[in-house]
Chain A
């Protein structure tokens, strides 16, 4: 069976759709076109060359509602004819979900390549069309959360963070260290949305949205677009001399379904079975790109992966997690500083890992890196945490 490689990538810089500040105001459809254009350019091919390939197209479902039968509309807009389309509704795990499905399609021999377009434009148009939320949300949120006055992911994350403080003694300063470290990484990333330096004092002065979650504990929503080209070993050779190998992907949907009695601060990522299958240990991983919708979720993953048995909070106190630190985490600033492009936000973490492994990360380049681990987490379950969980290992070939 062939190996699967990422043979090319593209990033369309994030925007808050502030025309008054000269920012781009683009729809999801425009991001699709720009991301694909940029991807083809990076591969050194034109649209006609793409038409000649055996490939599938993968897209994420966006926060603004689109057609029920959407992937063919996207293909029609772009004038492309993929053999097959895959579409992910995994929320924050969408990028990992698509990577996993694309990997399987190439491994199976069904296609030689998979084009993944990860885009979302939650801020365009800026006026909500729905009642309170962009998307039609979960019935359990409509019925058992919103009538109580809960405010969606922010309040769900606050419940988790409060319990994490109780279980692990996590302090506001420790949560702040995640935000501050990632901002330092973002300051060296040309496509991060927030680049200005951040101090712990500024973090502690930032207002609560749902105590103990402050505004700086949460991602900043942006519009944005990403593209990835996945290729078989032979296919990748045509496009690049710097392919990034996908060593393996693992996902789990609705993890630990009997959730009522569980510890909501435990976030068991299916990393152990991935590491075992690929045959690498924690020491073989040079950097982490951890899904970061909230600061506490980064701490929970450091614990779950096995890096922080003393608790994620104490770990970030004792160890630097900046790009030049002991254990580089979210080397491009993650979504906390880079911006979260809706359900495509997870693509930013994969793209950052690819830039690191191609040694194209400029000033934030992790020295001597050969392997990175990327996670994707989605769907805040009822009385639970993020129940869709994906993890991938990427390496130099």
Chain B
């Protein structure tokens, strides 16, 4: 689904709380009530033990860049993103080791390095949908 400025996720029963959480400034991860494992992206059961009993827990607002890329050309996605080129996306490692793909905000994208500290700064698209954006702080 396209919106002004990009592509919208397809919200469903499994991921609704994740996108709504980001619209309210929180990054929510699934936690298994039986074995305690965290997981992302949202899934219909615990991929470690198979329990259907999952709850949402708020992740820490800080993480580290595990890897990243600077997008230089928009291919196979909305042309709206061309206005933002070049921009950085990466995999942010949160406390406990869970990784989440996110847009990385930095004054100078070429200054980003693996291991950089990042702080959650979600982009709110609607009341119900936010996206994981992080600001690079060092």
Contact = CB atoms under 8 A, between A and B. Distances in A.
Across the A-B interface, the 8 shortest Cβ-Cβ residue pairs: A158-B69, A163-B67, A143-B9, A211-B70, A149-B81, A208-B72, A152-B76, A146-B7
Interface in A221-275: 257-258, 260-261, 264
Contacts of A158: 69
8 contacts: A149-B81, A166-B67, A208-B72, A211-B86, A257-B47, A258-B48, A382-B41, A383-B91
Given A132-B77, A144-B41, A162 B89 contact: no
A147 B77 CA distance: 9
Interface in A122-169: 131-133, 139-140, 142-152, 154-155, 158-160, 162-163, 166
Interface string B117-134: 000000000000001100
B9 A150 contact: no
Interface of A: 131-133, 139-140, 142-152, 154-155, 158-160, 162-163, 166, 207-213, 257-258, 260-261, 264, 382-383
Given A151-B73, A209-B72, A257-B47, A144 B101 contact: yes
Interface of B: 2, 6-10, 15, 38-41, 47-48, 66-78, 81, 84, 86-87, 89-91, 97-103, 114, 131-132
Most buried by B among A146, A212, A257: A146
A149 B39 contact: no
Contacts of A139: 10
Nearest to B76: A152
A382 B102 CA distance: 12
Given A208-B70, A210-B72, A260-B40, A150 B97 contact: no
A160 B131 contact: no
Most buried by A among B77, B78, B84, B102: B77
A149 B87 contact: yes
Contacts of B70: 208, 210-211
A154 B68 CA distance: 12
Given A155-B89, A209-B73, A210-B71, A150 B40 contact: no
B15 A143 contact: yes
